Amino acid sequence: MTTQAVEIRILGKIMRVNCPAGQERSLQDAADDFDKRLHELSARTKVTNTEQLLTIAALNVCYELQTEKQKIADDRNEMEQRITLLQKTIEEALLKHSASKEA
């Protein structure tokens, strides 16, 4: 897999990071989102220490990720329950249909 060096700007500082070829736009979008979050967080919390700001932002992103993972797991469980109920309903309908044909 080839990588491409991409320049991103976070808190006014330019960094070069490698990313898989073809994913440059996604990386730039992620960097722009992160930079926006940092600026909004700094304005809301009045935190100016870059290390503290990055730590708080990282914790927020990790919390959001955990929340989304839990939501996906909950959705998956609900879908599995619905599928099981649907299978049971179909099986019961088929059994009733077979019984009525035999009668």
pLDDT value for 103: 67
**pTM, whole model, 2 decimals?**
0.73
pLDDT digits (tens, 9 = 90+) for 6-26: 999 999 999 999 999 999 999
- Four-point Cα dihedral 33, 39, 44, 46, nearest 10: 150
At residue 102, the pLDDT reads: 78
Cα 92 to its chain centre, rounded Å, is 38
The DSSP symbol for 46 reads -
CA distance 13 to 61: 20
- Which tens digit of pLDDT belongs to each residue from 24-67? 999 999 999 999 999 999 999 999 899 999 999 999 999 999 99
Summarize pLDDT for 63-93 with one digit per residue, the tens. Answer: 999 999 999 999 999 999 999 999 999 999 9
Task: Return the ∠ at Cα 39 (arms to 35 and 44), rounded to 5°.
Answer: 145
| Cβ–Cβ under 8 Å, residues 64 and 41 | no
Give residue 3's Cα distance to chain centre: 23
